[in-house]
Amino acid sequence: MTPLPRRRFLKNTVGGIPSALLVAGASLPAADKPILSTDVFRKKLLAGLGGPWPQTKNLNVRLRETIKRDGYTIESLYYQVDPNDRVPALLLIPDGVSASRPAPAVICLHQHQYRYGKNEPAGLDGAPMHHTGAALAQEGYVVLCPDMLCFGERRDEKLKGGNYERFEFLRYLVNGKCLAWKNILDIRHAVDLLVQRREVQSDHLGCYGHSMGSTNTYMVGPWEPRLKCFVCNCCLPTYKAIHREHMLHCFPNFVPGLLEYGETPNIAALIAPRPLHMNFGELDQGSPIDEVRHGVQTIAAAYAAANAPQSFSHFIEEDTGHVLSKEMWRRTAAWFASHLRA
């Protein structure tokens, strides 16, 4: 399956949703409006997302099958996130890792490709450049690749592709929440699963994502303190850029009412002082580079204020689009090695 060009792909994904629905206050141009304090912004963000998440219950993990690969084993499993919803996931365990020899772990979040879902980072489908979970397993990390709602095995039989994602976004919206809230809930349960595994060093957990996976990574970061290290690849779209360019972007980017108080870089800044690295392609149309340059300054300032300037890093690759390049991957692997293996 050949991926669609990014602009047409995003148009197909969210076409038909009025822009005023996506971000309350979207007509306001003041995207760079300063927030009063970190605590105030955090409270406003939580309210926009949909409020607190339910406490962890029994995950009811069910193993489906085991797949042997070169250097690691894949466990195909389910875990329960609510009574009517279970998440299919792939757990990659490196050879030699066991309860007596546990390893650091990384949650690897997939991009916005409905068919592939978790299978792409796990190395079972999709573009080889995005077989990042498999690559991390070969480096000795335990890796968990879950399907996000509307992707992979969590697609709908009736509504296809973007139609189902549109349906779920609106279903959560009228119930006072948004799709980002749901994704954060599911990723927090993924952390629950990892800390219960005896093969995992539960105090050495990281999170990686490309594109939509990047958004989900910096969205969950402020709300999951058990994650100690983050890498976001090629996604930091600001509402200012989205509105100026008339972009129809992925639904997890949109938090109702947030623009009155801050921007997407302010969300990522809440991860401070925990280590965060971000990669960008200079020519990536999904994250216009001028806003990216401004956004990383906002994040860097938050890390400086937290007395942890060295814990934030970013890389903008010239003449590069929406990809995971060799240099981006080198920096990703080095960041995890530095902060999860130290």
Report DSSP letters for 314-341, one per residue: EEEETT--SS--HHHHHHHHHHHHHHH-
> 47-56 burial string, b = 16+ CB within 10 Å, else e?
ebbbeebeee
Kindly report whether the global pTM for this prediction surpasses the value 0.75: yes
> Strands 72-82, 85-94: parallel, antiparallel or unpaired by DSSP?
antiparallel
Tokens of 89: 């996931």
In this structure, is residue 300 part of a structural domain?
yes
Q: Per-residue pLDDT for 317 more than 60?
A: yes
**How many domains does the structure of the chain reveal?**
1
Q: Per-residue pLDDT for 11 more than 50?
A: no
In this structure, is residue 168 part of a structural domain?
yes
In this structure, is residue 291 part of a structural domain?
yes
Put the strands of the sheet holding 229-233 in their side by side order.
62-69, 72-82, 85-94, 142-146, 103-109, 200-210, 229-233, 276-281, 312-317
Tokens of 186: 């599911």
Q: Are the CB atoms for 152 and 116 separated by under 8 Å?
A: yes
Sorted by sequence, the CB contacts under 8 Å of residue 218 that are 6+ apart come out as 230, 232, 236, 264, 267, 268, 271, 276
* pLDDT value for 56: 74
In this structure, is residue 1 part of a structural domain?
no
Q: Are the CB atoms for 296 and 237 separated by under 8 Å?
A: no
Q: Per-residue pLDDT for 332 more than 80?
A: yes
> Strands 62-69, 72-82: parallel, antiparallel or unpaired by DSSP?
antiparallel
Span of 15-19, 94-98, 300-304, 335-339 with lowest mean pLDDT? 15-19
Q: Print the domain residue range for 77.
A: 6-340
* pLDDT value for 35: 56
What CATH number should be reported for the domain holding residue 33?
A: 3.40.50.1820
Helix (H, G, I), strand (E, B) or coil at 156: coil
Of the chain, the end-to-end C-alpha distance in Å amounts to 40
Gyration radius from the chain CA atoms: 19
Tens of pLDDT along 220-262? 999 999 999 999 999 999 999 999 999 989 999 999 999 999 9
- Distance (Å, whole) CA 284 – CA 237: 10
Report which of 143, 148, 190 is spatially closest to residue 340, judged by C-alpha positions. Answer: 143
In this structure, is residue 238 part of a structural domain?
yes
* pLDDT value for 55: 83
Question: Average pLDDT of 15-32?
Answer: 39
Tens of pLDDT along 154-193? 999 999 989 999 999 999 999 999 999 999 999 999 999 9
